[in-house]
Amino acid sequence: MSIFFALFLCGLTSLAQLNGWSDPMAITDSLHNNRNVTFPPGWTLNSDSLYVAWEVADDTLSTEIWCRNINGSGTPFQLLGSPGIQYRNSRIFQNPSGDTLFYLYYETNEAGNWDIMYIGYLGNGAVSVPVPVRASPADETDFSCMDFYGAVWQEGEAILFRQYTIPGGFVPGTQDQVIAQENCRNPVFSGYYIAFEKPVGGDIGLWTSAFNYAQHSYDPPETVIDTGSNQNKNLGMGFSGQELVWQAKSAGLWRLFCTYLPQMMPESVIDFEGANNIQPVYSYMVVGVRTDYPFYPSMLTFASDISGNFEIYAYDEFWSTDYVNLSEYAQDDLHPQLFVVWNYEPEHGNLILTWESNRNGHWQIWMCNMDIYLAVPEDQAQADDGKVVAVPNPFSVSTTLTLTMSSPAAYQVIISSSVGRIVRSFSGTAAPAGPLEIVWDGRDQQGTPCPAGMYLVSLHSGDRMTHGRVIVAR
């Protein structure tokens, strides 16, 4: 077991208890302003290599990108940095093959505008020559590439989408799709939804757009809410589908609101009364285990000033009042982020929470984590006739998914990436009780081969939902 996982698994309990979070650990020093950490999305290669990157700013004219392997020696090192140049909005992707350990995508104003670039990290402090992805007269902002599939960004007042590959950039021959334009800002991208803000008058409205697989493009955006000050939104895959959470003013205080998509029915989240609750983030933990029964948890975290200063709190999908204070520093702890990272042992991974604290006078990045499972651990295994079995697994060409129907019923099988994006689905109007076999060729809905990695398989039939996992090896 790696140093990182050995450190953080100490004292962890079942997911049934929110105190399964590890003790906080500082990722960065406290001598510089460290902001905007990024972890690789989804499945990671092995337990000896988990690189994270973040921004370091010592003045208003320059920023640097630093990195460390939190599974190895942990010594931070600089990836990017030049006097008078700013680097921001970095995204790190571990490489599934080859000599490059990971790729880092980022924006820089080196050429005068905010252009999109990427580098490869080759090890021993060596990086490749920066490769331009996109340059234009307008500033690129909030660039987000996700899951070897697509990229969403803001250009001027427009929200754009384009097919994307990692390593590399935009797919040759594809065109930018304008999701929305005129006074749009701050796009977020998760699964097959895009959400963004649109200020109109004194209000800030929230809009979403869903990916249309038949047309291979995004549908026209729809309004979630158009009154009030709605901001700091976050998209995450939850128990019942994509969840959009955000903060808005209510009775003079910032409160948390949410809606499942595509229902568009905003409702208040049970948060702290009489306190400002801000910056919600939400993550689906795939499949977890309580000590008494399996469940499919998600985690919501946010910052609250209930103690007089902002601290980081967390609670699970069921949003009970069983909150956990994860920072407890009596200083301003802000900007929580959630990352799901799977160990190369495919049965388990970690839900990682990071935040920024200025308790030492500079912004320092902290983290804690929780162990999560794709299946019931061996010491808690229970008979489950609905378990999804894949043979062979891992596979490179095709695999046969065997699912057990408890009774005759219509069914839907959904295959999604480790970060929640649906890549393929199968359905039938009726199937007899007993084994049901489906062959998956490792391709998405458009026939494009899916990249190497771990994929989640879920069977929906009647009021039952069962899960399994499969690994594509290229």
pLDDT at residue 371, rounded to an integer: 75
The pLDDT confidence band at residue 104, using thresholds 50, 70 and 90, is very high
256, amino acid identity: L
Measure the CA–CA gap between 230 and 250, rounded to whole angstroms: 10
Under 8 Å between Cβ of 130 and 118? yes
pLDDT at residue 174, rounded to an integer: 87
Q: What is the pLDDT of residues 248-279, one digit of tens each?
A: 998 899 999 988 887 777 888 878 889 999 99
Closest to 301 measured CA to CA, from 363, 231, 351: 351
Last residue of a domain, one of 378, 401, 430: 378
Looking at the chain, the whole-number percentage of residues with pLDDT higher than 70 is: 79
Domain with 128 in it: what CATH number? Answer: 2.120.10.30
Beta-bridged to residue 267, according to DSSP, are: 258
Q: What string of H, E and C letters represents the secondary structure of 321-334?
A: CCCEECCCCCCCEE
Q: What phi and psi values does residue 442 have, to the nearest 5 degrees?
A: 75, 20
Q: Which residue is associated with the tokens 């800030």?
A: 204
Q: Is the pLDDT reported for residue 170 higher than 80?
A: yes
Question: Do 344 and 425 reside in the same domain of the chain?
Answer: no
> Judging by DSSP bridges, how do beta strands 185-190 and 177-180 pair with one another?
unpaired
Lowest-confidence range among 2-11, 60-69, 290-299, 377-386?
Answer: 2-11
Report CA torsion sign: 92, 94, 97, 101.
positive
Q: Which residue is associated with the tokens 């009489």?
A: 274
Higher pLDDT, 344 or 305: 305
Closest to 231 measured CA to CA, from 195, 259, 181, 284: 195
Question: Do 346 and 406 reside in the same domain of the chain?
Answer: no
Q: What phi and psi values does residue 445 have, to the nearest 5 degrees?
A: -60, -25
Rounded mean pLDDT, 75-97: 88
The pLDDT confidence band at residue 289, using thresholds 50, 70 and 90, is very low
Question: Do 255 and 396 reside in the same domain of the chain?
Answer: no
C-beta neighbour count of 428 within 10 angstroms: 14
Question: Do 70 and 159 reside in the same domain of the chain?
Answer: yes
Question: Do 400 and 361 reside in the same domain of the chain?
Answer: no
Q: Is the pLDDT reported for residue 325 higher than 50?
A: yes
Question: Do 361 and 444 reside in the same domain of the chain?
Answer: no
Question: Do 417 and 350 reside in the same domain of the chain?
Answer: no
Question: Do 109 and 194 reside in the same domain of the chain?
Answer: yes
Q: Is the pLDDT reported for residue 194 higher than 50?
A: yes
Higher pLDDT, 443 or 419: 443
Last residue of a domain, one of 341, 357, 378: 378
Lowest-confidence range among 181-190, 226-235, 301-310, 431-440?
Answer: 431-440
Q: Is the pLDDT reported for residue 147 higher than 70?
A: no
**Length of the chain counted residue by residue:** 474
Question: Do 358 and 425 reside in the same domain of the chain?
Answer: no
Q: Is the pLDDT reported for residue 448 higher than 70?
A: yes
Closest to 156 measured CA to CA, from 142, 139, 137, 144: 139
Structural domain of 235: 3-378
The pLDDT confidence band at residue 292, using thresholds 50, 70 and 90, is very low
Residues 6+ apart with CB under 8 A from 221: 179, 180, 194, 196, 207, 208, 209
Q: What is the pLDDT of residues 365-392, one digit of tens each?
A: 999 988 776 554 444 333 344 567 888 8
Question: Do 333 and 413 reside in the same domain of the chain?
Answer: no
Measure the CA–CA gap between 208 and 226, rounded to whole angstroms: 12
The pLDDT confidence band at residue 321, using thresholds 50, 70 and 90, is low
> Judging by DSSP bridges, how do beta strands 158-163 and 150-155 pair with one another?
antiparallel
> Judging by DSSP bridges, how do beta strands 288-289 and 399-405 pair with one another?
unpaired
pLDDT at residue 18, rounded to an integer: 43
Last residue of a domain, one of 363, 378, 393: 378
How many structural domains compose the chain?
2
Measure the CA–CA gap between 111 and 55, rounded to whole angstroms: 19
Higher pLDDT, 300 or 2: 300
Question: Do 330 and 436 reside in the same domain of the chain?
Answer: no
Question: Do 392 and 362 reside in the same domain of the chain?
Answer: no
